[in-house]
């Protein structure tokens, strides 16, 4: 019974002590998120300085709109990262609270057992160890008593050590909990600031947008901005294809396809699910706009939909790029392996991170209007082996 008591105490104690490895993982993730947030904040400040500078130089309305769009995209990215960090912090607070409660319950059990042991010894009276041994009626009893007293003494000492250890652990965990609470309050304040900034930016954007829609000259300049953005996107995709890390991604994608038993992108022509709900308002290739009397080249398709409706990955892959591109707003590029990539632009409230794995149907963002003068829509592209492909030939008929 004594040995069983000791074993139970040891097992119970070790199962409740807060896992240090988990704490280290959380701290590392928090550091990574903090660095990412600081980076976005610096980029926002840089964009604001440029907006101020270009305003003084009387740049075109189209350029001002592009700058506002970039600031909105970055602010939205900051908001999303703050939300992600806040979620992890709240999970950590919940976990720490449960661990502290469990350790406090264990502490009470140990204290109760130790108190009962002391009270029992007091009631029975305390004989010295030598008296107990001398009062033995046989040498067998003397040996047994000596062994028993050694075990009891050892248990008492270990119980005391466990109580001390639990008190130290609870103290450390409480400090961690207080720190997490402070972090949560700070993140919520930062989130509110981001919301206010976005609201102000939307008002400024609408003002500049009205100017563009009324002025043919400004509209032409805006289309030039979009053309520059198209070239920027093409350069980005070329860089992604040449990137050394593409080999690592290819291996990860092959493993993902094997685990999920999914087909490769190249075998799914005409079978891919649509990335968003809505109607196609601009098709692939060169199109003539009779209202604006302009011919434009569209490297993908534009799907008009409800603001905030979900954008989904059409097939599994790895998020390679999340960035702002002139005329396209916040843009996500997914590597699907085998030289195939999909591009999602004008999105908002991004739900994923670079290098994250996604599966077909996963929500990666929501429909927005940043980079668009036609309201909320998704600009969707498919690239295969460096070539722009017509998305409608790869998506399911509907």
Task: Please tell me whether residues 139 and 26 are part of one structural domain.
Answer: yes
Tell me the average pLDDT of the chain.
78
pLDDT at 381 over 80: yes
pLDDT classification of 167: cutoffs 50, 70, 90? confident
- CA-to-CA distance for 380 and 275, rounded, in angstroms? 8
| pTM of the predicted model as reported, rounded to 2 decimal places | 0.66
Task: Please tell me whether residues 250 and 380 are part of one structural domain.
Answer: yes
- CA-to-CA distance for 5 and 232, rounded, in angstroms? 70
The stretch 156-170 carries a mean pLDDT of 75
- Residue 105's pLDDT is 85
Q: At CB < 8 A and 24+ separation, what contacts does 146-155 make? A: 148/2, 151/2, 151/3, 151/6, 152/2, 154/6, 155/2, 155/5, 155/6
Task: Please tell me whether residues 203 and 264 are part of one structural domain.
Answer: no
Q: Crossing angle for the helix pair 61-124 and 2-16, nearest 10 degrees?
A: 160
Whether 239 is in a domain gets the answer: no
- CA-to-CA distance for 67 and 249, rounded, in angstroms? 33
pLDDT at 9 over 50: no
- CA-to-CA distance for 254 and 319, rounded, in angstroms? 15
**Residue 251 CB burial class (10 angstroms; 0-12, 13-18, ≥19):** exposed
Task: Please tell me whether residues 3 and 54 are part of one structural domain.
Answer: yes
Whether 235 is in a domain gets the answer: no
Q: Which domain holds residue 344?
A: 244-398
Which range (49-58, 73-82, 130-139) has the least confidence? Answer: 130-139
Task: Please tell me whether residues 11 and 151 are part of one structural domain.
Answer: yes
Task: Please tell me whether residues 64 and 107 are part of one structural domain.
Answer: yes
Tally of domains within the chain: 2
pLDDT tens by residue, 98-127: 888 888 888 788 778 777 766 666 665 554
Whether 166 is in a domain gets the answer: yes
pLDDT at 393 over 90: yes
Task: Please tell me whether residues 49 and 2 are part of one structural domain.
Answer: yes
The stretch 32-39 carries a mean pLDDT of 68
- CA-to-CA distance for 262 and 14, rounded, in angstroms? 42
The stretch 2-25 carries a mean pLDDT of 43
- Residue 11's pLDDT is 36
Task: Please tell me whether residues 208 and 291 are part of one structural domain.
Answer: no
Task: Please tell me whether residues 250 and 366 are part of one structural domain.
Answer: yes
- Residue 5's pLDDT is 38
Task: Please tell me whether residues 210 and 274 are part of one structural domain.
Answer: no
- CA-to-CA distance for 59 and 61, rounded, in angstroms? 7
Whether 105 is in a domain gets the answer: yes
pLDDT tens by residue, 259-309: 888 889 999 999 999 999 999 999 998 877 666 666 778 899 999 999 999
Task: Please tell me whether residues 145 and 197 are part of one structural domain.
Answer: yes
Name the more confident of 253 and 131.
Answer: 253
Task: Please tell me whether residues 201 and 257 are part of one structural domain.
Answer: no
Q: Residue 348 is inside which H or E element, if any?
A: strand 347-348
Residue 364 sits in a domain whose CATH number is 2.70.70.10
Phi and psi for 275 in degrees, rounded to 5? Answer: -75, -20
């Amino acid at each position: 019974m004594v040995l069983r008591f000791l074993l139970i105490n040891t097992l119970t104690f070790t199962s409740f002590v807060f896992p240090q490895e988990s704490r280290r993982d959380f701290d590392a993730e928090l550091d990574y998120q903090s660095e990412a947030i600081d980076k976005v904040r610096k980029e926002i400040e840089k964009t604001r300085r440029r907006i101020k500078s270009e305003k003084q130089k009387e740049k075109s309305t189209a350029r001002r709109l592009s700058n506002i769009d970039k600031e909105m995209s970055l602010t939205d990215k900051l908001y999303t990262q703050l939300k992600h960090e806040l979620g992890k912090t709240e999970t950590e607070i919940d976990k720490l609270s449960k661990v502290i409660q469990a350790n406090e319950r264990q502490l009470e059990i140990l204290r109760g057992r130790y108190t009962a042991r002391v009270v029992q010894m007091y009631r029975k009276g305390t004989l010295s160890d030598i008296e107990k041994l001398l009062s033995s009626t046989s040498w067998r009893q003397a040996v047994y008593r000596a062994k028993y007293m050694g075990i009891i003494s050892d248990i008492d000492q270990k119980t005391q050590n466990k109580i001390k250890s639990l008190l130290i652990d609870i103290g450390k965990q409480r400090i961690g909990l207080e720190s997490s609470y402070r972090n949560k309050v700070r993140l919520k304040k930062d989130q509110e600031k981001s919301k206010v900034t976005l609201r102000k930016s939307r008002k400024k954007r609408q003002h500049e947008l009205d100017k563009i829609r009324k002025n043919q000259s400004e509209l032409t300049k805006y289309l030039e901005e979009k053309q520059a953005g198209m070239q920027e996107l093409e350069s980005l995709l070329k860089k992604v294809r040449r990137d050394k890390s593409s080999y690592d991604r290819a291996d990860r994608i092959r493993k993902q396809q094997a685990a999920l038993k999914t087909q490769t992108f190249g075998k799914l022509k005409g079978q891919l699910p649509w990335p968003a709900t809505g109607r196609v308002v601009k098709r692939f290739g060169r199109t003539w706009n009779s209202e604006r009397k302009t011919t434009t080249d569209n490297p993908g398709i534009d799907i008009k939909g409800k603001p905030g409706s979900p954008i989904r990955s059409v097939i599994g892959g790895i998020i390679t790029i999340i960035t702002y591109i002139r005329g396209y707003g916040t843009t996500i590029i997914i590597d699907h392996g085998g030289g195939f990539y999909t591009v999602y632009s004008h999105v908002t409230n991004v739900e994923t991170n670079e290098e994250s794995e996604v599966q077909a149907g996963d929500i990666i963002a929501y429909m927005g209007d940043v980079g668009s003068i036609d309201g909320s829509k998704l600009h969707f592209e498919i690239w295969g082996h460096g070539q722009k492909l017509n998305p409608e030939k790869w998506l399911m008929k509907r």
